[in-house]
Structure 1
Amino acid sequence: MIETTPGWLSTDELETARAQMPILYVEAVPVRVDECGEVISIGLLLRIGPDGTISRTLVSGRVLHHERVRDALLRHLEKDLGPVALPRIPASIQPFTVAEYFPTLGITPYHDPRQHAVALAYIVPVTGDCRPRQDALDLVWFTAQEAASPMVQQDMPGGQGVLLKQALAHVGCLS
């Protein structure tokens, strides 16, 4: 089947592109904040991978051709967290870090066996009701200490645990 949605590649076209060039992604760490803007909890998605393994992940997805990064971020937050999550995208769309995923292990802490991907990573407060959709089974809220624990970190594939720890450090949640 050929995808007719503008900006999407067919499966074959995507595989060809992934084999030849880096693909741009956005990743988001959904957080709840108190009235002073301090992070009080971090949301992690529970997913089943293609191989049947269960993992915890961040909101993540490709940026489409001719799509603004801000729009891609909103689209993936709504896709994964539901239409009433009410994310607060920052006025400045500068990421807290850039994560470069390689198909070869060990080049960076980030690994994606399918491709070389460059991900702009954001911390996004959400204020609404989050109800996971698409391929996410659940969204679980953790304290910063729980999210940084070895038990949670071991369930995060491809270096996303490293990215989560960077996000926690960025907002002052790791000592």
Structure 2
Amino acid sequence: MNDEVPDEGDFDADRPRGEFDHVTPEDFIRGSGHGNPPGWLDPADINRARSQMPIAYVEIVPVRADEFGRIAQVGSLLRVTEDGSVERALISGRVLFHETLREAIARNVAKDLGDIALPILPLNLQPFTVAEFFPTPGLSEYFDPRQHAIALCYVVPIAGDCRPQDETLDVEWVDPHSDMLDKFLSQMSNGHDRIVRRALAWANA
């Protein structure tokens, strides 16, 4: 079992697992319906962790694919920042304790795009790049004032309908071959534009 969350009927499903005794795989993807998913930290705990150690993230470039599997559109999220301004960003989020990478990708897509976005999860968990975000400007091409984050970056096709959730105001799409791409990327900050360009190069788009 390699210590993953057991399904009903698995040979070690009844093995004591402490705080994870009543956790199901769906809890990680959509939450348990009773607050945040397992492994979530309150603001004080996550701020303390961010000040003392690197944090594992997934960074997701959402795309629409054509009938031949080629990238037809690249998506970005419009969000309101803490100072009230609007920013363009990718889907990103922490990998929670006891959560697999696929579960982290699915949960973060659902968190921002809704439960019917229908992401096509990667068969191969090799990221197309790893982005190292530092809280000190100039150490890397990626910057995050909150933390040192190590982000595994994935291209994830979205097959369903997007319904922006929580802090996401809207989801906007652009043709990667259009003249609007440069303007689209210029509105991304802290290195997210570089992640999109590397994603497109990796996918030969």
TM-score (norm 1): 0.92
- Going from structure 1 to structure 2, the CA distance change for 1:126 and 1:166 (only over 3 Å counts) comes to same
Residue deviations 1:83-122, cap 9 Å, x none? 1111101111111111000001111110000100000100
Structure 2's unaligned 5+ residue stretches are: 1-34
Tell me which stretches of 4 or more aligned residues in structure 1 moved more than 2 Å. Answer: 3-6, 145-148
* Residue 69 (str. 1) matches residue 128 (str. 2): no
**Deviation for aligned residue 1:4:** 7.4
* Residue 113 (str. 1) matches residue 145 (str. 2): yes
* Residue 99 (str. 1) matches residue 136 (str. 2): no
* Residue 126 (str. 1) matches residue 165 (str. 2): no
Q: What is the CA–CA distance in structure 1 between the aligned matches of 2:36 and 2:166, rounded to whole Å? A: 20
Match of residue 85 from structure 2: 53
Match of residue 18 from structure 1: 50
Structure 1 residue corresponding to 2:116, chosen from 49, 63, 84:
84
* Residue 27 (str. 1) matches residue 59 (str. 2): yes
Q: What is the CA–CA distance in structure 2 between the aligned matches of 1:148 and 1:99, rounded to whole Å? A: 21
- Going from structure 1 to structure 2, the CA distance change for 1:84 and 1:5 (only over 3 Å counts) comes to closer
- Going from structure 1 to structure 2, the CA distance change for 1:92 and 1:12 (only over 3 Å counts) comes to same
Q: Which has the larger radius of gyration?
A: 2
Q: What is the CA–CA distance in structure 1 between the aligned matches of 2:159 and 2:57, rounded to whole Å? A: 24
- Going from structure 1 to structure 2, the CA distance change for 1:116 and 1:24 (only over 3 Å counts) comes to same
Q: What is the CA–CA distance in structure 1 between the aligned matches of 2:133 and 2:100, rounded to whole Å? A: 21
Q: What is the CA–CA distance in structure 1 between the aligned matches of 2:98 and 2:66, rounded to whole Å? A: 35
Count matched residues. Answer: 170
On the 8 A contact 2:57/2:95 being kept in 1, the answer is: yes
**Deviation for aligned residue 1:153:** 2.1
Higher relative contact order (CA 8 A, sep 6+): 1
Q: What is the CA–CA distance in structure 1 between the aligned matches of 2:110 and 2:37, rounded to whole Å? A: 18
Match of residue 69 from structure 2: 37
- Going from structure 1 to structure 2, the CA distance change for 1:4 and 1:62 (only over 3 Å counts) comes to closer
TM-score (norm 2): 0.79
Q: Please report the RMSD computed on the Cα atoms of aligned residues, expressed in angstroms.
A: 1.4
Aligned-pair identity in percent equals: 48
